[in-house]
Chains A and B, each alone.
Chain A
Amino acid sequence: MKAKHQRLVLVGLAALAVSGAAALGFSALDDTMTYFYSPTDVLDKGVSPGQPIRLGGLVETGSVRHEADGLTLAFTVTDTAHSVPVRYRGLVPDLFREGQGVVAEGTFDAAGVFVAQSLLAKHDEKYMPPEVADSIKRAGEWRPQTQAGS
């Protein structure tokens, strides 16, 4: 094989690898990506039970209840316009607080309760997840002081 031909073959293989990777990537994206919903989005767009989403908002003040097993937590997530009941079993992140931003990953059960598999709170005390800040702004309830110190 001449050098030029071999080059062509290599370029062809590279193109194949790139398109293969792109095909694999995009099909995996279709199956696995999760959308971010604020409580208002949940009401407006509707989320079917079992569909994995990320739900973000503030932990509503006064809503956190501990259940008898000592591990399960029930609370509501609000974007100040609407709120959604959430259940979570596990250790809560250190930064989980009433009135603070939180992003919960999980699915709705048949009764309309959001069952969170994980809760994300950020490393930084000052932090509010940008999505949460956004959804509160969209709900028209943005008060700069809720974004403590940033």
Chain B
Amino acid sequence: MVAEIGHFSLWLALAVAVCQVLLPGVGFHKDDERLRAVAVPAAQAQLLLALISFGALTWVFWVSDFSVRVVAENSHTLKPALYKITGVWANHEGSMLLWVTILALAGWAVATFGRSLNERLRTRVLSVQALIGIGFYVFLLVASNPFERLLPAPGEGNGLNPLLQDPGLAFHPPMLYLGYVGLSVTFSFAVAALLENQVNPEWARRMRPWVLAAWAALTGGLALGSWWAYYELGWGGWWFWDPVENAALMPWLAATALLHSTLVLEKRDALRNWTVLLAVLAFSLSMLGTFIVRSGLLTSVHSFAVDPERGIFILVLLALYIGGALTLYAWRAGTVEAGATFAATSREGSLVINNLLLAAILGTVFLGTLYPMALEAVAGEKISVGAPYFNATFRPLMVPVAALMAVGPFLPWRKAAGGRRVARRLALPALLALLSALTVYAFADTRGAWALLGVGLAVWLAASIFADIARQVRLGHGGPRLVWGRLIRQPRAMFGMWLAHLGVAVSIFGATASGAWESEVMTTVEPGQPVSVGPYTFTLDSIMPVAGPNYTAIEGRFDVRKDDNLVVSVRPQSRTYTEPPMETTEAGIAPLWAGDIYAVLGKPDGQGRWQVRLHWKPFMPWVWYGAALMMLGGAVSMLDRRRSRVALMQPHQLAAEAAEQKLPLAAE
């Protein structure tokens, strides 16, 4: 019964979505404001119905109702409670239901928090949002119905893939989908603005919080995904350049570019067409990502749901939505007026270069991800493109991005920078970067150019942020209280930028250091036999069987010592799940500030020894600390109440700008 309620709600939500498109459409045609006003309650009703449907699916998972096919296929009565709930979206049907529920949530949020939008634009946004919803509701109901019954019902379910029984992956899809689906809002904003011919700074300002929210969620999704791969797959790496990872990275890159281009449009009324195009592309890449993951087209360590028919369905949706939006763009872009001009070495100039570089990175990731699939489809040849390709393309393009990130905030809007003044302000960060690279060269074992460059760039970027803060609070002018007062009066968007950029520096440092100075030892050991790994000595203290809620495991305890002092103990496991029968490797990880101790237990070698792989990964957790800082930055920036065009300007500029001209926004 509960399943039928969920199923029925889904049909009702589809019906409401159709109304949400049609009635306001007629309203636009007849210029009837009351018909257009239907969009808001419709969006609210859609959320309610989607939540009922999602709640129903959660309930049947919770009570292990195996007469529902997805429950029987993906759950088990012995499964821990947490994974009964997260199991709802750990399968294709449930994850698509989560997708439309978040889509409905986004629509509701626009209806609720978008009051400051002008009425026509908001109605358009909601209609486009509903149009996207229709496609996905139909996809769910026709091709992936989560409420399909299984008769007769089996007495027990198949259980959930043990690799998904993990907090890291349990919360990965909701976070990722918040990002993916958040970008649907910017897509709708773009289409709405094209329809209403309202691509302007006001539009950019209204869209920006949505871009920030989606970007922060995507950052979190990427971080959770890589963290999961790192500790759950037990191979010691954290990024595989796997198509499924790239599927999330591509929209992130587009969203990052969009974040910066909306800033230019908001503050300076430039890059109108480009911003619209990016907003369309970002969501297109989200859908492409869904298609890649759900299509079964690729061999991936991550792809779970494999079904070509569903892939074709998503491909058709993709073609309709992206094709439609791009056609509209091609038709309307010519009518978007050119925005303001600016000097090449202004803030806008630096943001344009940032956008071009991000687009170039996006292009190479796109090529490396899609080319093997295209080649196989066209020529039948099977190739694989892995880390070597991405290292050869991604890293050289990331260097100028990171280098420029430090300079951009020092450049003034619109006018050319005083080169000498900027150089003076950046002299200290440059010196620090050079010194740290030299220190690395002199004292560290690895002298690879990328290690020097990575450390140098991270220091350069971090130091420039502190130089920027020092400049904004006019450090040295006035006492500590005055300086503090100036600091806390900075707009939140400013703090957001500092935090996010600092996060990038921290992540670059973590990725560089963990790669360059990792120590790895693969060997066989007897209990009590010490093994040196980097500065540490690992000793296998004991090997014991342990029991979990739905698995048994062999657990090794390694005592890790430095200079004969016990630092920490780690307990890697080799688990055997019964439902479904499967073995997994659980790495034993101890995150220290300076790095991770990482141990993997293999199999007995038949002579009383155990296979082990032991790592010391300096600064590894910094990759994720950096991601956390980026998310925090996005959230802080999103909550900027002043969200006005002056928010990111420097105090002395404000006066000058105000006196100098009426800005486009004020003029409109």
A-B pairs under 8 A by CB, number: 133
- The reply to whether A17 and B582 form a contact with Cβ atoms under 8 Å apart is no
- The reply to whether B584 and A94 form a contact with Cβ atoms under 8 Å apart is yes
A contact residues around B371 at 8 Å (CB): 29
Q: Considering the chains assembled together, what is the distance between the CA atoms of A33 and B382 in angstroms?
A: 10
Cβ contacts A to B, 19 pairs, < 8 Å: A3-B339, A6-B338, A6-B341, A6-B342, A21-B397, A24-B392, A25-B364, A25-B368, A25-B393, A31-B389, A32-B385, A33-B383, A33-B385, A33-B389, A36-B382, A89-B522, A92-B602, A92-B603, A129-B299
With A3-B340, A70-B607, A71-B605 known as contacts, the answer to whether A21 contacts B363 (CB < 8 A) is yes
Residue of B nearest to A22 (CB): B363
- B613-625 near A? 1/0 per residue, CB < 8 Å: 1000000000000
Q: Is A131 an interface residue (CB 8 A)?
A: yes
The stretch from B177-185, B314-322, B352-360, B472-480 touching chain A is B352-360
Q: Is B653 an interface residue (CB 8 A)?
A: no
Residue of A22, A70, A103 most packed against chain B (CB within 10 A): A70
Q: Considering the chains assembled together, what is the distance between the CA atoms of A103 and B363 in angstroms?
A: 28
Other A-B pairs beyond A32-B388, A90-B522, 17, CB < 8 Å: A1-B341, A7-B338, A21-B361, A21-B367, A21-B397, A24-B364, A25-B393, A26-B367, A28-B393, A33-B384, A66-B606, A70-B605, A91-B602, A91-B603, A92-B603, A125-B580, A131-B382
- The reply to whether A18 and B605 form a contact with Cβ atoms under 8 Å apart is no
- The reply to whether A29 and B304 form a contact with Cβ atoms under 8 Å apart is no
- A12-51 near B? 1/0 per residue, CB < 8 Å: 0110011011101110110111111000000000000000
- B639-662 near A? 1/0 per residue, CB < 8 Å: 000000000000000000000000
Q: Is B155 an interface residue (CB 8 A)?
A: no
B contact residues around A125 at 8 Å (CB): 580-582
With A123-B163, A123-B301 known as contacts, the answer to whether A34 contacts B356 (CB < 8 A) is no
- The reply to whether B393 and A24 form a contact with Cβ atoms under 8 Å apart is yes
B104 to chain A minimum Cβ distance, whole angstroms, is 30
6 A-B pairs with least C-beta separation: A70-B605, A21-B360, A36-B382, A70-B524, A32-B388, A21-B363
Residue of B nearest to A7 (CB): B338
- The reply to whether B389 and A124 form a contact with Cβ atoms under 8 Å apart is no
Query: Which residues of A (58-116) have their CB < 8 Å from a CB of B?
Result: 66, 69-71, 89-92, 94-95, 103
B636 to chain A minimum Cβ distance, whole angstroms, is 31
A contact residues around B384 at 8 Å (CB): 33-36, 54
With A25-B367, A120-B301 known as contacts, the answer to whether A36 contacts B611 (CB < 8 A) is no
Q: Is A143 an interface residue (CB 8 A)?
A: no
- The reply to whether B304 and A124 form a contact with Cβ atoms under 8 Å apart is yes
Residue of A nearest to B576 (CB): A94
B contact residues around A103 at 8 Å (CB): 299
With A29-B371, A32-B389 known as contacts, the answer to whether A17 contacts B522 (CB < 8 A) is no
- The reply to whether A124 and B161 form a contact with Cβ atoms under 8 Å apart is yes
Residue of B nearest to A14 (CB): B356
Q: Considering the chains assembled together, what is the distance between the CA atoms of A25 and B301 in angstroms?
A: 23
User: Interface size for chain A: under 10, 10 to 19, 20 to 34, or 35 or more residues?
Assistant: 35 or more
Q: Considering the chains assembled together, what is the distance between the CA atoms of A1 and B393 in angstroms?
A: 34
- The reply to whether A18 and B523 form a contact with Cβ atoms under 8 Å apart is no
B contact residues around A29 at 8 Å (CB): 367-368, 371, 385, 389
Q: Considering the chains assembled together, what is the distance between the CA atoms of A7 and B337 in angstroms?
A: 11
Residue of B341, B384, B580 most packed against chain A (CB within 10 A): B384
Q: Considering the chains assembled together, what is the distance between the CA atoms of A19 and B440 in angstroms?
A: 36
- The reply to whether B524 and A71 form a contact with Cβ atoms under 8 Å apart is yes
B187 to chain A minimum Cβ distance, whole angstroms, is 21
Q: Is B585 an interface residue (CB 8 A)?
A: yes
Q: Considering the chains assembled together, what is the distance between the CA atoms of A11 and B117 in angstroms?
A: 31
A→B interface (CB under 8 Å)? 1-4, 6-7, 10, 13-14, 17-18, 20-22, 24-26, 28-29, 31-36, 54, 66, 69-71, 89-92, 94-95, 103, 120, 122-125, 129-131
B contact residues around A10 at 8 Å (CB): 271, 274, 352
A76 to chain B minimum Cβ distance, whole angstroms, is 20
Q: Considering the chains assembled together, what is the distance between the CA atoms of A6 and B584 in angstroms?
A: 57
- B321-361 near A? 1/0 per residue, CB < 8 Å: 00000000000000000111110000000001000110111
A91 contacts which of B381, B584, B611 (Cβ < 8 Å)? B611
B contact residues around A4 at 8 Å (CB): 338
Q: Considering the chains assembled together, what is the distance between the CA atoms of A54 and B388 in angstroms?
A: 14
Query: Which residues of B (135-176) have their CB < 8 Å from a CB of A?
Result: 161, 163
- The reply to whether A35 and B381 form a contact with Cβ atoms under 8 Å apart is yes
- B587-628 near A? 1/0 per residue, CB < 8 Å: 000000000000010110111010101000000000000000
B360 contacts which of A18, A28, A35 (Cβ < 8 Å)? A18
- The reply to whether A35 and B396 form a contact with Cβ atoms under 8 Å apart is no
B contact residues around A32 at 8 Å (CB): 385-386, 388-389, 392
B contact residues around A120 at 8 Å (CB): 301
B contact residues around A26 at 8 Å (CB): 367
Residue of A nearest to B612 (CB): A91
Q: Is B518 an interface residue (CB 8 A)?
A: no
Residue of A nearest to B340 (CB): A3
B134 to chain A minimum Cβ distance, whole angstroms, is 32
Residue of A nearest to B604 (CB): A70
Q: Is B583 an interface residue (CB 8 A)?
A: yes
B280 to chain A minimum Cβ distance, whole angstroms, is 15
- The reply to whether A31 and B364 form a contact with Cβ atoms under 8 Å apart is no
A contact residues around B357 at 8 Å (CB): 17
Q: Considering the chains assembled together, what is the distance between the CA atoms of A92 and B601 in angstroms?
A: 11
With A17-B360, A25-B367, A123-B163 known as contacts, the answer to whether A3 contacts B341 (CB < 8 A) is yes
- The reply to whether A18 and B524 form a contact with Cβ atoms under 8 Å apart is no
B contact residues around A69 at 8 Å (CB): 524
With A32-B388, A91-B522, A124-B161 known as contacts, the answer to whether A70 contacts B356 (CB < 8 A) is no
